[in-house]
Structure 1
Amino acid sequence: MPSIHYVEYDAAHQHDFVYSIPEGLDAWLLVLTQTPALFEVNGELQEYPAHSAVLYPPKHNIYYRACSRKYVNDWVRFDADESYITETVLPVGTPFSLPDPGYCHQLFQLLTLENSFQNDYRELSIDYLFRLLFNKLSEASQDKLTPQYYNLLDLRKTLYSNPGHPWTVSSMAAHLHISTGYLQTIYKSTFGISCMEDVIHCRIRLAKERLGYGQHKIAEIASLCGYANVEHFCRQFRQLTGFSPRAYREKLAAKQPLPRDEE
């Protein structure tokens, strides 16, 4: 299992911060940046954006430094002999962008907590967190992120957390300060679904939750899910689930089996 020497998140440094170890460490080093930084890659100094990850194996040249008013990162130095680390597909010594930096940041927070306390399953928990982290990094290293990716991701999280808002393509495009046509193109190419289809699916998921667990009237649920018209809500609900809202609620109440993707 991985053995942590030191792990830290939200480590902040001044504008003159430099980390240089030409001969490398005797351990692995994983760095996730929160600000832009300069990294030496193949003998050349290159600037990489915030939300980049870089993995250094033992004895690998390390050089990176701040390139703005401050430098902030999450980092962990550790030993490992597990194949998912030692035989990783991740590029070593070369930064790559993270599709969901907030997710990886939370994993660093959990790693720090687990490493700080002597809990009964501490080592096992740390190993699970490392496996999850390296899975996410492997996925990230294969992605080609568009310049608007992080803005799109923030928009999607906003949609998912508030599906009842009266979303329109125009309002979403205004949220990102781009045209409606461009939004529709990059949203579908990024997530495999159009922005309004995504909103509708979110609303129907919320409606199923309300129908199964609560005493709201169907008209109230329609309003909570962003529908001004109950008939329109019922029509879309049937299109996506195969049931009317009332029939769906009755089947759940009778504990009758629903198709797997409707549960």
Structure 2
Amino acid sequence: MLKLFSCGYHTIHHEGIVRNRPNGSGNYTFVFFNSRAEVKLHENTTIVQKNTFIFFQPQTPHYYRELESPFINDWFHCNGYDFHKFLLNINFPLDTLIDASDPLLISRCIMELQNSYRLDGTLREHIIDCDLRSFFMKLSDLRERTAPHQLNRYYIQFTELRNDLYRYSHKKLSVKELALQLNLSKSYFQHIYKELFGCSVMTDIINARLEHARYLLDHSALSVTQIANSCGYENDTHFMRQFKKFVGVSPRKYRFRSET
């Protein structure tokens, strides 16, 4: 079981900060820099920009200090049986400075970790174990799917746009209109989208519409024509053809599948 020893979300150091650990901290230490800092690791000194994280091993000598005031960071100390094996299995980088492609995810997860740490219940330790494993797996998965470094600056904007595609699947938006929202050309917008998410924006638009259509077929009495309109289709014929192509059956057969 993974254990959390201490945790800080959006910790503000008004007087600055110096962490000098020539023998390591004695446990695994995660630091997410929300401010510029100087980091010394393996005898190398690096100027670190905000939205950078690192996960130190227990015996790794390290030093860091603020380069701006106030200095803000998220951090936690943890350990556990077979922790190193777990990290190797998910290919998580250790003692390496990493640019965060989704800084909001990291801060949000550490805020939840801090909330779990303050819990007082019989399942507290199990919740923390699950939270820690989930956190590292999300970061590892995100690194594997992250586009080239030069596209990282688009990640948050595109993620929000992608979430909106699924949240508002009834809206009739063209790829050109979506590109204009981010002040990008249609072709470059499509290129970035594919690099970031591994699929085209049209694939996501279709998936979002059909996902909502399946929900309405399962949980409403709306007609197929009404559902087509609710999912952004101009006519029910196009909707039915696309539904059958991607789902494998017609909307009507999908709705009454449990009766056959």
Q: 1:66 to 1:214 in 2, by over 3 A?
A: farther
For 1:196 and 1:19, how far apart are their aligned partners in 2?
49
For 2:145 and 2:240, how far apart are their aligned partners in 1?
38
1:34-83 per-position Cα deviation (integer Å, ceiling 9, x unaligned): 45554334422223342x32111224333334455654332112233423
Match of 1:166 in 2: 172
Structural RMSD (CA) = 2.6
For 2:173 and 2:36, how far apart are their aligned partners in 1?
33
Match of 2:20 in 1: 21
Q: 1:128 to 1:243 in 2, by over 3 A?
A: same
CA contact (8 A) 1:56 1:92 kept: yes
Structure 1, unaligned runs of 5 or more: 257-263
SS in 2 for 1:117: coil
Q: Match for 2:254: what amino acid?
A: Y
Question: Which of residues 207, 215, 219 in structure 2 aligns to 1:209?
Answer: 215
Match of 1:260 in 2: none
Match of 1:46 in 2: 47
Match of 2:125 in 1: 123
Q: 1:182 to 1:117 in 2, by over 3 A?
A: same
Match of 1:64 in 2: 64
Q: 1:154 to 1:49 in 2, by over 3 A?
A: farther
Offset at residue 106 of structure 1 (A): 3.7
Structure 2, unaligned runs of 5 or more: none
Q: Match for 2:48: what amino acid?
A: E
Offset at residue 172 of structure 1 (A): 1.4
Q: TM-score, normalised by structure 1?
A: 0.82
For 1:18 and 1:203, how far apart are their aligned partners in 2?
50
CA contact (8 A) 2:3 2:79 kept: yes
Match of 2:188 in 1: 182
For 2:66 and 2:194, how far apart are their aligned partners in 1?
35
SS in 2 for 1:92: coil
Q: 1:168 to 1:65 in 2, by over 3 A?
A: farther
| Length, aligned pairs only | 252
Residue correspondence of structure 1 range 81-120 to structure 2 within 5 A:
81-84=81-84, 88=88, 89-120=91-122
Q: 1:234 to 1:86 in 2, by over 3 A?
A: closer
